[in-house]
Structure 1
Amino acid sequence: MAQTILITGASSGIGKATAQFFHDKGWNVIATMRKTEAGEDLAGLDNVFVAQLDVTDPGSIEQAVSDGIARFSAIDVLLNNAGYGAYGPLEAFAMERIRRQFDTNVIGLLAVTKAVLPHMRAAKSGTIVNISSIGGQMTFPFGTLYHGTKFAVEGMSEALHFELEPLGIKVKIVEPGMIKTDFGGRSFDFANDETLAEYQPSVAKMMAGMQAMQEQQDGSEPELVAEVIYTAVTDGTPAMRYPAGPDAVELLGNRKKLDDLTFIGGIKQQLGF
Protein backbone atom coordinates (compact mmCIF):
# COMPACT_ATOMS: atom_id res chain seq x y z
CA MET A 1 0.00 0.00 0.00
CA ALA A 2 1.37 3.42 -0.98
CA GLN A 3 2.39 5.77 1.79
CA THR A 4 1.08 9.32 2.05
CA ILE A 5 2.88 12.64 2.58
CA LEU A 6 1.23 15.97 3.41
CA ILE A 7 3.22 18.99 2.24
CA THR A 8 2.60 22.62 3.19
CA GLY A 9 3.58 25.39 0.80
CA ALA A 10 3.41 23.08 -2.22
CA SER A 11 2.53 25.71 -4.82
CA SER A 12 6.13 26.45 -5.82
CA GLY A 13 9.80 25.96 -5.05
CA ILE A 14 10.84 23.23 -2.65
CA GLY A 15 7.27 22.23 -1.79
CA LYS A 16 6.20 21.73 -5.39
CA ALA A 17 9.43 19.90 -6.30
CA THR A 18 8.94 17.59 -3.32
CA ALA A 19 5.33 16.86 -4.26
CA GLN A 20 6.47 15.88 -7.75
CA PHE A 21 9.41 13.83 -6.43
CA PHE A 22 7.33 11.79 -4.00
CA HIS A 23 4.62 11.28 -6.63
CA ASP A 24 7.25 9.92 -9.00
CA LYS A 25 8.33 7.51 -6.26
CA GLY A 26 4.80 6.12 -6.05
CA TRP A 27 3.59 7.98 -2.96
CA ASN A 28 0.20 9.52 -2.33
CA VAL A 29 0.65 13.28 -2.00
CA ILE A 30 -1.53 15.81 -0.17
CA ALA A 31 -0.21 19.03 -1.69
CA THR A 32 -1.47 21.98 0.34
CA MET A 33 -1.24 25.67 -0.45
CA ARG A 34 -3.01 28.93 0.27
CA LYS A 35 -4.38 29.29 -3.27
CA THR A 36 -5.26 25.98 -4.89
CA GLU A 37 -5.32 27.43 -8.41
CA ALA A 38 -1.51 27.49 -8.17
CA GLY A 39 -1.57 23.69 -7.98
CA GLU A 40 -3.59 22.87 -11.08
CA ASP A 41 -0.71 20.96 -12.66
CA LEU A 42 -0.22 18.88 -9.52
CA ALA A 43 -3.96 18.22 -9.28
CA GLY A 44 -3.81 16.53 -12.68
CA LEU A 45 -1.45 13.84 -11.39
CA ASP A 46 -2.65 10.46 -10.17
CA ASN A 47 -2.65 10.07 -6.38
CA VAL A 48 -2.10 13.80 -5.78
CA PHE A 49 -4.75 15.65 -3.77
CA VAL A 50 -4.49 19.45 -3.79
CA ALA A 51 -6.01 21.09 -0.70
CA GLN A 52 -6.33 24.66 0.51
CA LEU A 53 -4.29 25.27 3.65
CA ASP A 54 -3.06 28.51 5.18
CA VAL A 55 -0.79 27.77 8.14
CA THR A 56 -2.11 30.92 9.88
CA ASP A 57 -5.74 29.72 9.58
CA PRO A 58 -6.57 26.91 12.05
CA GLY A 59 -9.80 26.04 10.27
CA SER A 60 -8.06 25.45 6.95
CA ILE A 61 -5.46 23.26 8.67
CA GLU A 62 -8.07 21.01 10.27
CA GLN A 63 -10.04 20.78 7.02
CA ALA A 64 -7.01 19.92 4.88
CA VAL A 65 -5.83 17.24 7.30
CA SER A 66 -9.34 15.76 7.55
CA ASP A 67 -9.87 15.80 3.77
CA GLY A 68 -6.42 14.32 3.13
CA ILE A 69 -7.05 11.43 5.49
CA ALA A 70 -10.48 10.87 3.96
CA ARG A 71 -8.81 10.64 0.54
CA PHE A 72 -5.85 8.41 1.39
CA SER A 73 -6.78 6.93 4.81
CA ALA A 74 -3.56 8.06 6.53
CA ILE A 75 -0.77 10.61 6.74
CA ASP A 76 2.56 8.84 7.10
CA VAL A 77 4.80 11.87 6.61
CA LEU A 78 4.31 15.58 7.29
CA LEU A 79 6.57 18.07 5.52
CA ASN A 80 6.39 21.49 7.16
CA ASN A 81 7.69 23.59 4.29
CA ALA A 82 5.54 26.75 4.18
CA GLY A 83 7.41 29.89 5.15
CA TYR A 84 9.09 33.06 4.00
CA GLY A 85 11.97 35.34 5.01
CA ALA A 86 11.70 38.79 6.58
CA TYR A 87 14.88 40.88 6.42
CA GLY A 88 15.74 44.44 7.33
CA PRO A 89 16.46 46.60 10.38
CA LEU A 90 14.26 45.57 13.29
CA GLU A 91 13.19 49.18 13.81
CA ALA A 92 11.81 49.25 10.27
CA PHE A 93 9.28 46.47 10.95
CA ALA A 94 5.83 47.19 12.29
CA MET A 95 4.75 44.74 14.99
CA GLU A 96 2.13 43.35 12.61
CA ARG A 97 4.86 42.23 10.19
CA ILE A 98 6.94 40.83 13.03
CA ARG A 99 4.00 38.73 14.22
CA ARG A 100 3.27 37.59 10.67
CA GLN A 101 6.81 36.22 10.32
CA PHE A 102 6.55 34.19 13.52
CA ASP A 103 2.91 33.21 12.93
CA THR A 104 3.87 31.71 9.56
CA ASN A 105 7.26 30.14 10.21
CA VAL A 106 6.82 29.05 13.84
CA ILE A 107 3.22 29.06 15.10
CA GLY A 108 1.94 27.77 11.76
CA LEU A 109 4.41 24.90 11.80
CA LEU A 110 3.33 23.97 15.33
CA ALA A 111 -0.36 24.19 14.40
CA VAL A 112 -0.02 21.85 11.42
CA THR A 113 2.11 19.42 13.43
CA LYS A 114 -0.42 19.44 16.27
CA ALA A 115 -3.23 18.68 13.81
CA VAL A 116 -1.42 15.67 12.32
CA LEU A 117 0.00 14.18 15.53
CA PRO A 118 -3.18 12.43 16.78
CA HIS A 119 -3.26 10.35 13.59
CA MET A 120 0.41 9.43 13.79
CA ARG A 121 0.10 8.68 17.50
CA ALA A 122 -2.83 6.33 16.81
CA ALA A 123 -0.80 4.60 14.09
CA LYS A 124 2.28 4.43 16.35
CA SER A 125 4.38 5.58 13.41
CA GLY A 126 5.13 8.57 11.21
CA THR A 127 7.79 11.07 10.25
CA ILE A 128 7.73 14.85 10.61
CA VAL A 129 10.20 16.75 8.42
CA ASN A 130 10.68 20.42 9.21
CA ILE A 131 12.34 22.68 6.67
CA SER A 132 14.84 24.84 8.48
CA SER A 133 17.77 26.47 6.67
CA ILE A 134 21.46 27.12 7.06
CA GLY A 135 19.88 30.18 8.69
CA GLY A 136 18.76 27.97 11.56
CA GLN A 137 22.33 27.61 12.78
CA MET A 138 24.02 30.74 11.44
CA THR A 139 22.93 34.26 10.62
CA PHE A 140 23.31 37.09 8.14
CA PRO A 141 22.93 40.81 8.93
CA PHE A 142 19.39 42.17 9.21
CA GLY A 143 17.90 38.67 9.47
CA THR A 144 16.77 39.06 13.09
CA LEU A 145 13.22 37.92 12.33
CA TYR A 146 13.92 35.20 9.77
CA HIS A 147 16.81 33.66 11.68
CA GLY A 148 14.83 33.92 14.89
CA THR A 149 12.14 31.72 13.35
CA LYS A 150 14.57 29.19 11.91
CA PHE A 151 16.54 28.90 15.15
CA ALA A 152 13.15 28.27 16.76
CA VAL A 153 12.38 25.51 14.23
CA GLU A 154 15.68 23.82 15.08
CA GLY A 155 15.02 23.94 18.82
CA MET A 156 11.40 22.85 18.55
CA SER A 157 12.30 19.97 16.28
CA GLU A 158 15.06 18.71 18.54
CA ALA A 159 12.86 18.89 21.64
CA LEU A 160 9.93 17.27 19.82
CA HIS A 161 12.22 14.38 18.92
CA PHE A 162 12.44 13.40 22.60
CA GLU A 163 8.70 13.27 23.19
CA LEU A 164 7.74 11.58 19.91
CA GLU A 165 10.44 8.94 19.55
CA PRO A 166 8.86 6.69 22.24
CA LEU A 167 5.60 6.87 20.24
CA GLY A 168 7.26 5.59 17.06
CA ILE A 169 7.29 9.02 15.39
CA LYS A 170 10.50 10.45 13.91
CA VAL A 171 11.44 14.12 13.61
CA LYS A 172 13.86 15.26 10.89
CA ILE A 173 15.29 18.68 10.02
CA VAL A 174 16.33 19.62 6.47
CA GLU A 175 18.66 22.62 6.15
CA PRO A 176 18.87 24.03 2.61
CA GLY A 177 21.53 26.48 1.56
CA MET A 178 21.03 28.85 -1.35
CA ILE A 179 18.29 27.41 -3.55
CA LYS A 180 16.96 28.48 -6.94
CA THR A 181 13.47 29.43 -5.78
CA ASP A 182 11.54 32.67 -5.64
CA PHE A 183 12.78 33.34 -2.08
CA GLY A 184 14.00 36.74 -3.25
CA GLY A 185 10.59 37.47 -4.76
CA ARG A 186 7.21 36.82 -3.20
CA SER A 187 8.77 34.76 -0.39
CA PHE A 188 11.06 37.61 0.66
CA ASP A 189 9.80 40.41 2.88
CA PHE A 190 12.34 43.25 3.04
CA ALA A 191 11.72 46.28 5.22
CA ASN A 192 13.78 49.43 5.34
CA ASP A 193 13.18 52.97 6.49
CA GLU A 194 15.60 55.39 4.91
CA THR A 195 14.88 57.95 7.62
CA LEU A 196 16.75 55.59 9.95
CA ALA A 197 19.97 57.01 8.56
CA GLU A 198 22.31 55.21 10.92
CA TYR A 199 21.43 51.81 9.43
CA GLN A 200 21.71 52.76 5.76
CA PRO A 201 25.46 52.18 5.23
CA SER A 202 25.11 48.66 6.63
CA VAL A 203 21.95 48.00 4.62
CA ALA A 204 23.77 48.99 1.43
CA LYS A 205 26.71 46.72 2.30
CA MET A 206 24.41 43.82 3.05
CA MET A 207 22.45 44.16 -0.20
CA ALA A 208 25.62 44.44 -2.27
CA GLY A 209 27.25 41.55 -0.43
CA MET A 210 24.26 39.25 -0.83
CA GLN A 211 24.05 40.06 -4.54
CA ALA A 212 27.75 39.29 -4.94
CA MET A 213 27.30 35.97 -3.12
CA GLN A 214 24.44 35.02 -5.43
CA GLU A 215 26.50 35.89 -8.50
CA GLN A 216 29.50 33.92 -7.25
CA GLN A 217 27.55 30.82 -6.25
CA ASP A 218 24.71 29.38 -8.27
CA GLY A 219 22.02 28.04 -5.95
CA SER A 220 20.97 24.41 -5.92
CA GLU A 221 17.80 23.32 -7.68
CA PRO A 222 14.68 22.70 -5.52
CA GLU A 223 14.77 19.10 -6.77
CA LEU A 224 18.02 18.60 -4.84
CA VAL A 225 16.23 19.52 -1.62
CA ALA A 226 13.36 17.20 -2.54
CA GLU A 227 15.85 14.35 -2.87
CA VAL A 228 17.35 15.16 0.54
CA ILE A 229 13.86 15.19 2.05
CA TYR A 230 13.17 11.78 0.52
CA THR A 231 16.43 10.48 1.98
CA ALA A 232 15.52 11.84 5.41
CA VAL A 233 12.18 10.04 5.26
CA THR A 234 13.41 6.72 3.90
CA ASP A 235 17.01 6.15 5.03
CA GLY A 236 15.97 4.34 8.21
CA THR A 237 18.67 6.03 10.29
CA PRO A 238 18.34 8.02 13.53
CA ALA A 239 20.00 11.03 11.88
CA MET A 240 18.16 14.27 12.67
CA ARG A 241 19.76 17.01 10.54
CA TYR A 242 20.24 16.92 6.78
CA PRO A 243 22.10 19.78 5.02
CA ALA A 244 20.86 20.32 1.47
CA GLY A 245 23.26 21.75 -1.09
CA PRO A 246 27.07 22.00 -1.28
CA ASP A 247 27.10 25.44 0.33
CA ALA A 248 24.99 24.15 3.23
CA VAL A 249 27.41 21.30 3.84
CA GLU A 250 30.38 23.68 3.77
CA LEU A 251 28.91 26.51 5.84
CA LEU A 252 27.33 24.31 8.51
CA GLY A 253 30.53 22.29 8.71
CA ASN A 254 32.52 25.48 9.31
CA ARG A 255 29.97 26.67 11.86
CA LYS A 256 30.54 23.53 13.92
CA LYS A 257 34.32 23.63 13.88
CA LEU A 258 35.01 27.39 14.14
CA ASP A 259 34.52 29.60 17.18
CA ASP A 260 31.99 32.44 17.02
CA LEU A 261 34.55 35.20 16.49
CA THR A 262 36.19 33.42 13.56
CA PHE A 263 33.02 32.30 11.83
CA ILE A 264 31.11 35.57 12.24
CA GLY A 265 34.24 37.47 11.24
CA GLY A 266 34.31 35.49 8.01
CA ILE A 267 30.68 36.38 7.24
CA LYS A 268 31.43 40.06 7.90
CA GLN A 269 34.43 39.94 5.60
CA GLN A 270 32.49 38.23 2.84
CA LEU A 271 29.72 40.82 3.02
CA GLY A 272 32.07 43.77 3.32
CA PHE A 273 31.17 44.70 6.90
Structure 2
Amino acid sequence: MSTTTRSRPGGTALANPQMTFQRVCAISGMICPLLFFGAFIAAGFVPPLAPSSSASEIAAHYRDHANGIRLGAGIMLLSGMFYAAYTAVMSGQMQRIRGVHQTVVFTQLAAGAFACLTFLVPALFFAVTAFRPERAPETTMLLNDMSWIFLVMPWPPFMVQNFAFAFAILSDRGPKPILPRWLAYLNIWAPIVFTPGIVLQFFKSGPFAWNGIFVFWIPATVFVIQFAVNMVFLLRAIKAEQAESPAAGPLP
Protein backbone atom coordinates (compact mmCIF):
# COMPACT_ATOMS: atom_id res chain seq x y z
CA MET A 1 0.00 0.00 0.00
CA SER A 2 1.27 3.50 -0.86
CA THR A 3 1.98 5.55 2.26
CA THR A 4 3.14 9.04 3.00
CA THR A 5 5.72 8.35 5.68
CA ARG A 6 7.37 5.33 7.21
CA SER A 7 8.72 5.52 10.73
CA ARG A 8 12.14 4.31 11.77
CA PRO A 9 12.72 3.12 15.34
CA GLY A 10 13.23 6.26 17.39
CA GLY A 11 10.69 8.33 15.44
CA THR A 12 12.65 9.33 12.27
CA ALA A 13 10.38 9.52 9.23
CA LEU A 14 11.17 8.71 5.63
CA ALA A 15 9.42 10.75 2.96
CA ASN A 16 7.17 8.90 0.57
CA PRO A 17 8.92 8.75 -2.82
CA GLN A 18 5.53 9.37 -4.48
CA MET A 19 5.32 12.75 -2.76
CA THR A 20 8.95 13.49 -3.58
CA PHE A 21 8.23 12.76 -7.24
CA GLN A 22 5.28 15.16 -7.16
CA ARG A 23 7.44 17.86 -5.60
CA VAL A 24 10.06 17.44 -8.31
CA CYS A 25 7.33 17.80 -10.93
CA ALA A 26 6.01 20.95 -9.21
CA ILE A 27 9.50 22.47 -9.01
CA SER A 28 9.83 21.71 -12.71
CA GLY A 29 7.29 24.51 -13.11
CA MET A 30 10.07 26.99 -12.35
CA ILE A 31 12.93 25.07 -13.96
CA CYS A 32 11.04 25.23 -17.27
CA PRO A 33 10.88 29.05 -17.65
CA LEU A 34 14.37 29.48 -16.18
CA LEU A 35 15.78 27.21 -18.89
CA PHE A 36 13.51 28.69 -21.55
CA PHE A 37 14.61 32.27 -20.98
CA GLY A 38 18.15 31.14 -20.20
CA ALA A 39 18.21 29.87 -23.78
CA PHE A 40 17.54 33.43 -24.99
CA ILE A 41 20.53 34.71 -23.02
CA ALA A 42 22.82 31.97 -24.35
CA ALA A 43 21.73 32.71 -27.93
CA GLY A 44 22.13 36.48 -27.67
CA PHE A 45 18.38 36.93 -28.17
CA VAL A 46 17.96 39.51 -25.39
CA PRO A 47 16.42 41.63 -26.78
CA PRO A 48 14.89 39.37 -29.46
CA LEU A 49 15.96 39.81 -33.06
CA ALA A 50 13.62 42.37 -34.59
CA PRO A 51 11.41 41.17 -37.47
CA SER A 52 12.27 44.43 -39.20
CA SER A 53 15.96 43.44 -39.38
CA SER A 54 17.42 42.93 -42.82
CA ALA A 55 18.53 39.52 -44.09
CA SER A 56 22.19 40.56 -43.80
CA GLU A 57 21.72 41.69 -40.17
CA ILE A 58 20.02 38.44 -39.19
CA ALA A 59 22.62 36.34 -41.00
CA ALA A 60 25.40 38.26 -39.25
CA HIS A 61 23.84 37.54 -35.85
CA TYR A 62 23.72 33.83 -36.59
CA ARG A 63 27.33 33.83 -37.79
CA ASP A 64 28.53 35.77 -34.73
CA HIS A 65 26.50 33.75 -32.20
CA ALA A 66 26.35 30.34 -33.87
CA ASN A 67 27.59 28.32 -30.88
CA GLY A 68 25.49 30.33 -28.44
CA ILE A 69 22.36 29.75 -30.51
CA ARG A 70 23.13 26.04 -30.72
CA LEU A 71 23.56 25.93 -26.96
CA GLY A 72 20.37 27.93 -26.49
CA ALA A 73 18.47 25.55 -28.77
CA GLY A 74 19.56 22.62 -26.61
CA ILE A 75 18.54 24.42 -23.40
CA MET A 76 15.16 25.37 -24.89
CA LEU A 77 14.62 21.75 -25.92
CA LEU A 78 15.21 20.65 -22.32
CA SER A 79 12.70 23.19 -21.00
CA GLY A 80 9.91 21.30 -22.75
CA MET A 81 10.78 18.18 -20.76
CA PHE A 82 10.19 20.04 -17.49
CA TYR A 83 6.94 21.47 -18.81
CA ALA A 84 5.67 17.91 -19.30
CA ALA A 85 6.42 17.09 -15.65
CA TYR A 86 4.73 20.30 -14.49
CA THR A 87 1.63 19.43 -16.53
CA ALA A 88 1.51 15.98 -14.95
CA VAL A 89 1.51 17.27 -11.36
CA MET A 90 -1.27 19.70 -12.23
CA SER A 91 -3.33 16.73 -13.40
CA GLY A 92 -2.50 14.81 -10.24
CA GLN A 93 -3.72 17.57 -7.95
CA MET A 94 -6.81 18.19 -10.10
CA GLN A 95 -7.79 14.55 -9.59
CA ARG A 96 -7.94 15.16 -5.84
CA ILE A 97 -10.78 17.67 -6.28
CA ARG A 98 -14.04 15.87 -5.60
CA GLY A 99 -16.58 16.15 -8.38
CA VAL A 100 -14.13 17.09 -11.15
CA HIS A 101 -14.83 14.87 -14.14
CA GLN A 102 -11.95 13.07 -15.82
CA THR A 103 -12.70 15.03 -18.98
CA VAL A 104 -11.48 18.19 -17.26
CA VAL A 105 -8.27 16.47 -16.16
CA PHE A 106 -7.70 14.93 -19.59
CA THR A 107 -8.30 18.29 -21.30
CA GLN A 108 -5.60 19.91 -19.15
CA LEU A 109 -3.23 16.98 -19.75
CA ALA A 110 -3.77 16.86 -23.52
CA ALA A 111 -3.40 20.63 -23.90
CA GLY A 112 -0.23 20.56 -21.77
CA ALA A 113 1.24 17.81 -23.96
CA PHE A 114 0.43 19.92 -27.03
CA ALA A 115 2.00 22.96 -25.34
CA CYS A 116 5.27 21.04 -24.97
CA LEU A 117 5.63 21.33 -28.74
CA THR A 118 5.82 25.11 -28.42
CA PHE A 119 9.14 24.59 -26.61
CA LEU A 120 10.44 21.72 -28.76
CA VAL A 121 9.64 22.89 -32.29
CA PRO A 122 11.17 26.41 -32.06
CA ALA A 123 14.26 24.90 -30.42
CA LEU A 124 14.67 22.58 -33.40
CA PHE A 125 14.18 25.44 -35.85
CA PHE A 126 16.82 27.55 -34.08
CA ALA A 127 19.16 24.55 -34.19
CA VAL A 128 18.59 24.10 -37.93
CA THR A 129 19.11 27.82 -38.59
CA ALA A 130 22.39 27.92 -36.66
CA PHE A 131 23.63 24.62 -38.09
CA ARG A 132 24.87 26.27 -41.30
CA PRO A 133 25.28 30.01 -40.59
CA GLU A 134 27.21 30.41 -43.84
CA ARG A 135 24.09 29.76 -45.97
CA ALA A 136 22.46 32.53 -48.04
CA PRO A 137 21.16 35.39 -45.83
CA GLU A 138 17.66 35.13 -47.34
CA THR A 139 17.44 31.47 -46.30
CA THR A 140 18.66 32.29 -42.81
CA MET A 141 16.06 35.05 -42.62
CA LEU A 142 13.30 32.61 -43.63
CA LEU A 143 14.33 30.06 -41.01
CA ASN A 144 14.64 32.78 -38.38
CA ASP A 145 11.12 34.01 -39.18
CA MET A 146 9.81 30.48 -38.81
CA SER A 147 11.65 30.03 -35.50
CA TRP A 148 10.24 33.16 -33.88
CA ILE A 149 6.70 32.75 -35.19
CA PHE A 150 6.59 29.14 -33.98
CA LEU A 151 7.94 30.35 -30.64
CA VAL A 152 5.67 33.32 -29.91
CA MET A 153 2.42 32.77 -31.79
CA PRO A 154 0.97 29.43 -30.53
CA TRP A 155 -0.81 30.43 -27.31
CA PRO A 156 -4.07 28.40 -27.74
CA PRO A 157 -2.85 25.20 -26.02
CA PHE A 158 -1.85 27.24 -22.97
CA MET A 159 -5.29 28.83 -22.85
CA VAL A 160 -7.07 25.46 -23.00
CA GLN A 161 -4.75 24.00 -20.37
CA ASN A 162 -5.06 26.92 -17.97
CA PHE A 163 -8.82 27.25 -18.39
CA ALA A 164 -9.25 23.54 -17.57
CA PHE A 165 -7.03 23.96 -14.49
CA ALA A 166 -9.03 27.02 -13.43
CA PHE A 167 -12.34 25.20 -13.96
CA ALA A 168 -11.20 22.41 -11.67
CA ILE A 169 -10.15 24.87 -8.95
CA LEU A 170 -13.48 26.70 -9.13
CA SER A 171 -15.32 23.36 -8.93
CA ASP A 172 -13.81 22.61 -5.51
CA ARG A 173 -16.66 23.06 -3.00
CA GLY A 174 -14.91 21.31 -0.11
CA PRO A 175 -14.49 22.98 3.29
CA LYS A 176 -10.73 23.12 2.68
CA PRO A 177 -10.14 23.73 -1.04
CA ILE A 178 -7.06 22.04 -2.42
CA LEU A 179 -6.08 25.21 -4.28
CA PRO A 180 -7.29 28.77 -3.57
CA ARG A 181 -10.05 30.14 -5.79
CA TRP A 182 -8.08 33.27 -6.70
CA LEU A 183 -5.47 31.00 -8.33
CA ALA A 184 -8.13 30.05 -10.87
CA TYR A 185 -8.54 33.69 -11.86
CA LEU A 186 -4.78 34.04 -12.33
CA ASN A 187 -4.86 31.04 -14.68
CA ILE A 188 -7.76 32.57 -16.61
CA TRP A 189 -6.17 35.99 -16.89
CA ALA A 190 -2.64 34.86 -17.81
CA PRO A 191 -3.39 33.18 -21.16
CA ILE A 192 -5.61 36.09 -22.17
CA VAL A 193 -2.45 38.24 -21.96
CA PHE A 194 -0.84 35.91 -24.53
CA THR A 195 -3.55 36.43 -27.18
CA PRO A 196 -1.98 39.47 -28.95
CA GLY A 197 0.49 36.96 -30.42
CA ILE A 198 -2.15 35.98 -32.96
CA VAL A 199 -1.64 39.25 -34.88
CA LEU A 200 2.17 39.28 -34.96
CA GLN A 201 2.23 38.22 -38.62
CA PHE A 202 0.80 41.64 -39.55
CA PHE A 203 3.59 43.66 -37.92
CA LYS A 204 7.35 43.92 -38.39
CA SER A 205 7.77 46.67 -35.80
CA GLY A 206 5.90 48.23 -32.90
CA PRO A 207 4.13 46.75 -29.85
CA PHE A 208 2.47 43.93 -31.80
CA ALA A 209 5.61 42.65 -33.54
CA TRP A 210 7.09 39.42 -32.16
CA ASN A 211 9.58 41.48 -30.13
CA GLY A 212 6.96 44.04 -29.05
CA ILE A 213 5.72 44.82 -25.57
CA PHE A 214 2.25 43.28 -26.05
CA VAL A 215 3.44 40.15 -27.83
CA PHE A 216 6.74 39.36 -26.08
CA TRP A 217 7.62 41.40 -22.99
CA ILE A 218 4.32 41.50 -21.10
CA PRO A 219 3.43 37.87 -21.91
CA ALA A 220 6.93 36.74 -20.91
CA THR A 221 6.64 38.52 -17.56
CA VAL A 222 3.17 37.09 -16.85
CA PHE A 223 4.38 33.65 -17.98
CA VAL A 224 7.09 33.58 -15.32
CA ILE A 225 4.81 34.97 -12.58
CA GLN A 226 2.15 32.37 -13.36
CA PHE A 227 4.66 29.52 -13.21
CA ALA A 228 6.09 30.74 -9.90
CA VAL A 229 2.69 31.17 -8.22
CA ASN A 230 1.34 27.85 -9.49
CA MET A 231 4.47 26.09 -8.28
CA VAL A 232 4.12 27.51 -4.76
CA PHE A 233 0.50 26.43 -4.40
CA LEU A 234 1.05 23.03 -6.00
CA LEU A 235 3.79 22.41 -3.43
CA ARG A 236 1.39 23.44 -0.66
CA ALA A 237 -1.28 21.10 -2.05
CA ILE A 238 1.23 18.24 -2.12
CA LYS A 239 2.19 18.99 1.48
CA ALA A 240 -1.48 18.92 2.50
CA GLU A 241 -1.97 15.64 0.64
CA GLN A 242 0.95 14.16 2.53
CA ALA A 243 -0.48 15.31 5.86
CA GLU A 244 -3.85 13.74 5.06
CA SER A 245 -2.41 10.34 4.14
CA PRO A 246 -2.13 7.63 6.81
CA ALA A 247 1.30 6.75 8.12
CA ALA A 248 2.62 3.22 8.02
CA GLY A 249 3.78 1.28 10.97
CA PRO A 250 7.38 1.01 12.16
CA LEU A 251 9.99 -0.34 9.81
CA PRO A 252 11.33 -3.73 10.79
TM-score, normalisation: structure 2:
0.27
More strand per residue: 1 or 2? 1
Flag the structure with larger Rg: 2
Q: Whose RCO is larger (CA < 8 A, sep 6+)?
A: 2
